[in-house]
Amino acid sequence: MIGMGSVSAWRPAVQRLWNRFSCTRMRSRWCSRIIVWRTVKTFLQLYLGAVALRIAKYVHRDAIWCVCNKTRPARTRDGVVDDGRIDDQTAIGAAAIEVAKAQLAERADGSQPQPPCLQGMGDGRLRRERHTPAQQWILLTMTDPLAVVVPRRLSTGADPRIVAANRLFDLIVALAEDVGLTPIVTDDPDYPLEGVGGVLLPGGGDVNPHRYGCTSTAAVYDVNDEQDHLDFTLTARARDAQLPILGICRGAQVLNVAYGGDLQVDLAAGSVDHGAAVFSWHPVHLAPDTRVRAAHGADELVVASAHHQAVASLGAGLVTTAWADDGVIEAFESETGWVLAIQWHPEAPGVPKRLQQAPFKAFADAVAQSGRGALSAQREDS
């Protein structure tokens, strides 16, 4: 046995070790360091764990599969292979599903096959050469076949005409939404059009007269070269892509100039007040067998106008489809493709709801028939 003297000899040494490693003596410097480290370690574990869970939630391989193939990975459920189709509009087609089934059948262990866009990539990242960031955004978000691009109004200021134009812009966007369209408002002239079904050109200030070979006058207002560049670039790209285009007021004038036509820089006083400063209500006559006549279901309308410029001569491939009593062209459309331009303001307050929505419904029908649906068919064929 160990005597009492022996115990009293080794007890202080044991006590010192205990105080150093058990943290019972809070005034110990070593103990304080351990407490700080353990606290920091616990916080980092909890924080990084939460971040990892959030990343895992949004960056899952199923989501990446959907981006590349527009279909979920095929799964085996109770012995039946689920083809993973999301819906008819977003699925890339039967070919992708058959590939997924074949890959699943080749895996003897029954594990999930690697999506084609991840093959050869151990870290599971998207191959950048397949999709640019803008294209990835479209594939992730643009699942609506009635999505249309709307150039943003860039002018600001206290001028009552600019304030009114910006308010009317909001009404145009709201009307587009009312008929089932999904407006994508952008200030990017190079916005990718492969994920949308059409372009909507709203009203606004005057087109720079230099664009159609005329000189400016004191009557010209709110000329914005950046706005012109945005509108004309999107119009040209939509025309090349054969997308439906609807132009309203300034949008109609942009379309005419884009097709090679010109404008009257300032309308002379005539028998019809076209409302240069405030809305003016006057009749317009619609040509039979035209898009604008089919959309409104009438030969004559009373419309709200607010413009001091108008079409002087139409561009190539455009035809007049509506006019005022003084001969001013109030609507025109293209001979090929789907392009409709109206000089009046269907979005103006006081216009009956049916007449407000008429051109937008016709535009939505054109987008549904020839926009995203045609693109999906091309992808399936490829």
Q: Which residues are catalytic?
A: 249, 345, 347
* 196, 147 contact by CB (below 8 A): yes
Beta bridge partners of 75: 82
Measured CA to CA, the distance from residue 48 to residue 43 in angstroms comes to 8
SS3 333: strand
Q: Say if residue 250 is exposed, middle or buried (CB neighbours under 10 Å; 0-12, 13-18, 19+).
A: buried
Beta bridge partners of 154: none
Compute how many other C-beta atoms are within 10 angstroms of the C-beta atom of residue 196: 27
Tell me the longest C-alpha to C-alpha distance in the chain. 127
Q: Amino acid identity, residue 78?
A: D
* 159, 86 contact by CB (below 8 A): no
Q: How far apart are the first and last CA of the chain?
A: 91
Contacts of 307 (CB under 8 A, 6+ apart): 249, 267, 274, 275, 276, 343
SS3 322: strand
Q: Amino acid identity, residue 98?
A: E
* 347, 171 contact by CB (below 8 A): yes
Measured CA to CA, the distance from residue 366 to residue 244 in angstroms comes to 6
